[in-house]
Structure 1
Amino acid sequence: MNKLLATLVAGLFSAAVFAQATPATPAKPAPGTGTAATPAVAATPAAPAKAEAKKEEKAVAKKEDKAVAKTDKKADAKKATAKKEVKKEEKKS
């Protein structure tokens, strides 16, 4: 048990050490494309990620709606068959 705890604690420490990001050196622009103060192309990496997240959310919602509709349809079909069976039994009596 002591070895297991020691291993877990060591794993936490090593994860904490390796999780720290080292500062990246600033990229130098290509000659003739702008200066370091005014880059030629503005970087917007968050915008595509948000769009992808919205698309995924819509797709998940659509799948859930289809699943709910399908289960509702099945429930309605079961109710209809049950009513038909009851009517058949009443006619036989």
Structure 2
Amino acid sequence: MNKLLATLVATLFAGAVFAQATPATPATPATPAKPAASAAADKPAAKAEKKATKKATKKAPKAKKAASS
């Protein structure tokens, strides 16, 4: 009985070692995805800048009219 038990344990160890064989090529991690939030965050800032320049161009002719009268 002891020989049978020793044989079973040895077989289990051998099977575990065989199952954990190292792969031929190491695994390479996937490239991380680029966050889409940065593109979405830039839009409001660009929109605000566009509004500010539009307001400034509207105010400029009014200021010239006030200065000339």
Tell me the TM-score normalized by structure 2: 0.49
* Structure number with higher relative contact order (C-alpha < 8 Å, ≥ 6 residues apart): 1
Say which one has the larger Rg.
Answer: 2
